[in-house]
Each structure stands twice: as structure tokens, then as C-alpha cells.
Amino acid sequence: MRGTSVPAVPPRLGGLDRFNRASQGSAEAALLACCGSRRWAARVAAHRPYPDVEALLAAADEASYDLSAADLAEALAEEASPGLHDSAPQSAHTALRAAHAAYESSFGHAFVICLDGFSPAEHLNQVLGGIRLRMTNERDEERSIAADELRRLARARLAHVVANHPESDSTSPAHRVL
């Protein structure tokens, strides 16, 4: 005689499966947390389902390369310049605020930088050095660099969203707080 079986628990969907099965509106909302361009989010969401994360990231990259000037401005308007952890010295907060203010005054948008591959201890120096270096750029050159940094940030954020995390906290890989 066979024992009574326990009803099978449906397998928990991974992040990519959840993303592929989400409604268009939910998928676009998750994507907007990665990149603030509505056209980018709609385009990436419209090409679902993705067979794997690499295909999704490739589509996100392609959509990033096709951002118009208006799409880029929309996405940059949604960005916040990276800040410091509350435990950082006051002098570091002051220096970073001044650098961000100078950058935003010159270019009209938040400074964006992807800090993947750098340890948290290196973040402040990377941001300050990046601002200092990029302040010498012409406006068009800087918009191109900002677009590439935004693409890298969106890619990192999107990878996090679909990495089987139950929460879709897209701020973690964005390195918003140093």
C-alpha cells in the first residue's frame, strides 16, 4: 500500500521566469527601475520571453545604444548621483556634494558611473576622479560617456533583478551609496 502523498509544491520561479511571465506593465516598471527611459523599458519588455539572462542583457544593451537624445535626457533625469554611506567623514560628504554640484551645473544632469569591478573602498576615489576627469569634456562627448555609463548601470541593475532575488531592489548594483 502506498502512503498518502504530500501535494507537490510548485517550483519557485526564478527571476528571469518571473520577468518573462510578468504583465507588460509590471515588466516595464521593473525595467524603469533599471533605466528611466520609457522607450527603453517598453522595447526590452516587448521582446519577451528571453531564453536566458544573456539574451535579455544583450537586448537591453541594444536598446540602450538606440536611445535618442530625448530618451537619454529622460533616463538621466531619473538618476541620482552616487552618495556616501552615512559613516563617511563629513569632509568626504562635502567634497562629493561640491563635485556633484559642479558637474550637474556644467552638464545639466546627475553624474552617472558604474562602479562594477571596484571595491567599496575605491568608490569615493573613482567617483571624484571620474567627475574631475569628465568635467573637461565637451557637452556632446560627456553625453556619450554618460550614455555608456547609464547602459552599464542598467545592465548591472537588470542582472540583479533577474538573479532569482525575491525582491527586485535595483539600487544595490547601482552603487548609489558609497
Is it true that the peptide bond before 49 is cis, omega within 30 degrees of 0? yes
Helical residues (DSSP H) of 47-119, grouped into ranges: 53-65, 69-77, 90-107
Q: How many domains does the chain have?
A: 1
Sign of CA dihedral 129, 135, 136, 139: positive
pLDDT the model gives residue 101: 96
User: Crossing angle of helices 24-32/38-46, nearest 10°?
Assistant: 130
Q: What is the pTM of this model?
A: 0.82
Residues 86-110 have pLDDT tens digits of 888 899 889 999 999 999 999 999 9
Confidence tier at 165 by pLDDT (50, 70, 90) = low
- Contact indicator for 99, 132 with CB cutoff of 8 Å: yes
Q: How far is CA 168 from CA 10, 15, 72, 81, 160, in A?
A: 21, 9, 23, 21, 8
Residue 173 lies in a domain: no
H or E, element range at 42: helix 38-46
Residue 83: DSSP 8-state: B
Residue 135 lies in a domain: yes
Q: Domain range for residue 125?
A: 15-161
* Least confident window among 1-5, 31-35, 90-94, 104-108: 1-5
Residue 174 lies in a domain: no
CATH of residue 76's domain is 1.10.3330.10
- Contact indicator for 36, 153 with CB cutoff of 8 Å: no
